[in-house]
Chains A and B, each alone.
Chain A
Amino acid sequence: MSYLKRYVMPIKSYLAHPHKNEKQALINALSGIEKCEVIPSENKDLLIVVTDTDNNLEEDHLKEQIESISSLKLLVMVSGFDTPKSK
């Protein structure tokens, strides 16, 4: 486990639900975070967030940072891929 924590480069995707009328604020806040990509839905109050970090510690930290955004109502993880680091 500790090996994985140190030696994988996680890519994770989430669905992020904004609070009412705060979709734009959430897009702005997420766009300002490094290693985090945002794909807003065109027609729904929903964003896709993809994180691409160097290791799990960094990923955990990033997730905490996202969860502290005030315009975010709910963050749901959809997929996680742990890719091995180059040898």
Chain B
Amino acid sequence: MYTSLTDRRSFIKKMAVLSAMTAAAAMFPGILFAEEQEAKIPNSENLDWKKAPCRFCGVGCGVLVGIENGKAVAVKGDPKSSVNKGLCCVKGYHSVMAMYGKDRLTKPLVKKNGKYVETSMQEALDLIASKMKETIKDYGKDAVSIYGSGQWTIPDGYVASKLFKGCIGTNNVEANARLCMASAVTGFMTSFGIDEPMGCYDDIDHANVFVLWGNNMAEMHPVLFSRILDQRLKRGVKVIDFATRTTRTSMASDKSIIFKPNTDLAVANAICYEIINNGWVNKSFVEKHCTFKKGLTHMGFGLEDKYAFTDKPELIDFEAYKTFLKDYTPEKVEKISGVSAKDIKYMASFYGDPNQKVMSLWCMGMNQHTRGTWINNLVYNIHLLTGKISTPGNSPFSLTGQPSACGTVREVGTLTHKLPHGVVTNAEHRAHAAKIWDVPVENIDPKPTYHTVEMFRALDRGEIRFMWIQVTNPMVTMPKLKRYRDATKKEGRFIVVSDIYPTPTTDIADVILPSAMWVEREGMYGNSERRTQYFEQMVEPPGEAISDTWQLVEVAKRLGFEKQFYYKKETHVEEIYNEYKKHHEGKKHAMAPLEVLKSQPGAQWPYVDGKSTKWRFNSKYDPACSNGEAFHFYGNPDGKAVIWQRPYEHAPEEPDNDYPFWLNTGRVVEHWHTGSMTRRIPVLHQAMPHGYVELNPEQAKVMGINTGDKVKLTTRRGEIILPASVNERGVPEVNHVFVPFFDEGMLINELTLDAFCPISKQPDYKKCAVKVEKV
């Protein structure tokens, strides 16, 4: 092929720029160049740019998707989006390529005599409906279940909940956000009586100090991290990384403080001790707006089947709380946590200084924790004691990992105990939902059934016989994986999986439905800052693929619920959204009209009188405040937030002589979760082709392990061999290892423990005991 010299020079110039960017990124994690967004974008006049939220993480960047001849060919950050202000990370930038992997599922597949056979969509849907009917007839309504995700669009989750909870009458509805966000939800519910952050990303532009609680933002929330670094450049803000492992975030922070696993509980209490001991309490705020409570302790870890726990909150007074904190002086906590008393005082001094605005950020480190609800409560305590909350720049902020963990799972309520508005245990909430769903109120069962781990255990025990899994990959993500994989293979279980690519989860399916992904259909996502964002259908899905929403609607009709599933194919997303909006009417949670979502890069609920609410519970910004005071924590009946007395407790499994290391698992910047999409994007796959085990460099030297050497990891649940990574990206402490979970060829969850927080039921993927050997 002829290449002109000019083309070649321009290509080489791009290569030179890319090399420089790669070098810069290695030196400065989180570095961003505006030109980077444009570098590889085809320069064509036929490109039609359309707005959408990014497909991947919960930051929810606004992107512009370039469409050419019916194909999505490019992505750039949307300059109009207040989330990312035109920036985009490496995953977002390559996101459209995830639609065009060679092995996209395009036809429904049905397992017959151990082999998958292509079938038509109509036949596959008929089969699913008849299997559901048969299962309900033989085993009862609670034998059928659906397991979705924080990647479900709002309409997907809404119709799933309406079908299962409203029409069939089972609360067997769960989503993978149980594995990533449940502790954040119970943290909010127990402290404030209402879910989701009070602040927003604009807090980044106001805060002076950022404390990252076990949160590797440089890799997991790169665009937000770059906004923080930008503020450091402009205003000299401080970034403190508080973590169990040295990461790219630690390296880019002003201060990195390492703590021993699970002892964040003790350190948070020590910060509260310091605040009280130094007279830094914002007394008038606490007197007016807070109550003090304690709950049960030594709750266990949910390791046994049918484990149940209900907390018994008890009011206490400030003096009792103060006495409790005497066990958490910085000097005592230094011994527990490995964090020096000096560093604890250093952190406390920022929270305590009335002239500093502090933002605390966290994600999986605090949520995937057997005391996840507690540690969420404890960080709120720090902000409540100092009154640093619900004002610009003073913000405890729980981040999310999936594009609609908030929008679909938390707001639509696709968890066993939830309804779109409220909970199944509340008669008023049931009546409200039943009216909008047009079902008899008795249909909605007042008793929650199974949370995620227990749902898979119920499948194993045979209480659940039918499971429909949509847009998630539990055969990579469930902890103690083998038990749950074996469960799906048992006689008399029927599994339907809707997805876009073959995965270890489609491998266990009886029926595989090809799904339309992201902009191949219409929908909405809700991000971490209560922002609902709409996207239109921009391209056709491949083959017979249809949206998860429409798959559910079709099956609902086949089950005889035509009246409730009256939606027309052409307008169903609009009809569903308008119906869903009714659940949230009122000043506390009103959703923006669809026309607004179509016209701008999202809107933040509560959306009242044509305006998004940026800071909740602050009467200056939040129209739902009605107590005549500056702040109103209206989620709780007394209008007050709760400061919780929660102690430090041990993790369920700690290193011992047989298993002397801590095993921590997590993500990497190149891949999104289980990698089923990003591993099909060549540049991301090449950048991070396989899993690895990260070791402490000094310890690796003593053990004679170099990068690339084979290392065997063994826990009480299984073993796996991985290549070593020494001094490459993260640096674990001595006797710690880290393994990312994106590689389905190296399933680290064979080794993890299925212990969970007794309140949130969210598993802890960050801590278990492991043996490490060079092979």
Contact between chains at B33 and A42 (CB < 8 Å): yes
Min distance, Cβ B32 to any Cβ of chain A, angstroms: 4
A9 closest partner in B (C-beta): B9
Q: CA of A83 to CA of B14 in the docked complex: distance in angstroms?
A: 14
Chain B contacts with A in 513-550, Cβ cutoff 8 A:
none
> Is B663 in the interface zone, CB < 8 Å from A?
no
B227-247 interface code vs A (CB 8 A; 1 in, 0 out): 101100100000000000000
Q: CA of A45 to CA of B19 in the docked complex: distance in angstroms?
A: 18
Q: CA of A43 to CA of B33 in the docked complex: distance in angstroms?
A: 8
Count residues on chain B whose CB falls below 8 Å from chain A CBs: 27
Contact between chains at A15 and B20 (CB < 8 Å): yes
Contact between chains at A11 and B16 (CB < 8 Å): yes
Q: CA of A45 to CA of B32 in the docked complex: distance in angstroms?
A: 11
CB neighbours of B13 from chain A (8 A) = 11, 37, 50, 52
Min distance, Cβ A40 to any Cβ of chain B, angstroms: 8
Q: CA of A41 to CA of B13 in the docked complex: distance in angstroms?
A: 18
Q: CA of A50 to CA of B24 in the docked complex: distance in angstroms?
A: 14
- Known contacts A15-B23, A43-B229, A48-B24: does B16 contact A79 (CB below 8 Å)? yes
CB neighbours of B35 from chain A (8 A) = 39
> Is A7 in the interface zone, CB < 8 Å from B?
no
Other-chain contact of A39, B9, B17, B23, B30 (Cβ < 8 Å): B17
Contact between chains at A50 and B20 (CB < 8 Å): yes
> Is B452 in the interface zone, CB < 8 Å from A?
no
CB neighbours of A2 from chain B (8 A) = none
Interface size class of A (residues with CB under 8 A): 20 to 34
A62-83 interface code vs B (CB 8 A; 1 in, 0 out): 0000000000000000111101
> Is A19 in the interface zone, CB < 8 Å from B?
no
CB neighbours of A61 from chain B (8 A) = none
Q: CA of A72 to CA of B236 in the docked complex: distance in angstroms?
A: 21
- Known contacts A11-B12, A42-B34, A42-B230: does B87 contact A78 (CB below 8 Å)? no
B31-47 interface code vs A (CB 8 A; 1 in, 0 out): 11111000000000000
- Known contacts A11-B9, A52-B9, A86-B5: does B31 contact A41 (CB below 8 Å)? yes
CB neighbours of A11 from chain B (8 A) = 9, 12-13, 16
Interface centre among B15, B20, B30 (most CB of A within 10 A): B20
Chain A contacts with B in 1-29, Cβ cutoff 8 A:
9, 11-15
Contact between chains at A14 and B12 (CB < 8 Å): no
Q: CA of A43 to CA of B85 in the docked complex: distance in angstroms?
A: 13
Contact between chains at A83 and B12 (CB < 8 Å): yes
B85 closest partner in A (C-beta): A42
Q: CA of A13 to CA of B30 in the docked complex: distance in angstroms?
A: 20
Contact between chains at B12 and A39 (CB < 8 Å): no
> Is B28 in the interface zone, CB < 8 Å from A?
yes
Min distance, Cβ A46 to any Cβ of chain B, angstroms: 6
Min distance, Cβ B360 to any Cβ of chain A, angstroms: 21
Q: CA of A45 to CA of B229 in the docked complex: distance in angstroms?
A: 11
B4 closest partner in A (C-beta): A86
Contact between chains at B20 and A42 (CB < 8 Å): no
CB neighbours of A44 from chain B (8 A) = 24, 28, 31, 229, 233
Other-chain contact of B233, A15, A39, A43, A78 (Cβ < 8 Å): A43
> Is B226 in the interface zone, CB < 8 Å from A?
yes
A-B contact pairs, 6 of them (CB 8 A): A12-B16, A42-B230, A43-B229, A46-B24, A50-B13, A78-B20
- Supply 10 further A-B pairs (C-beta < 8 A) apart from A43-B226, A43-B233, A44-B28: A13-B17, A14-B20, A15-B23, A41-B28, A43-B227, A45-B233, A46-B31, A48-B21, A78-B20, A83-B8
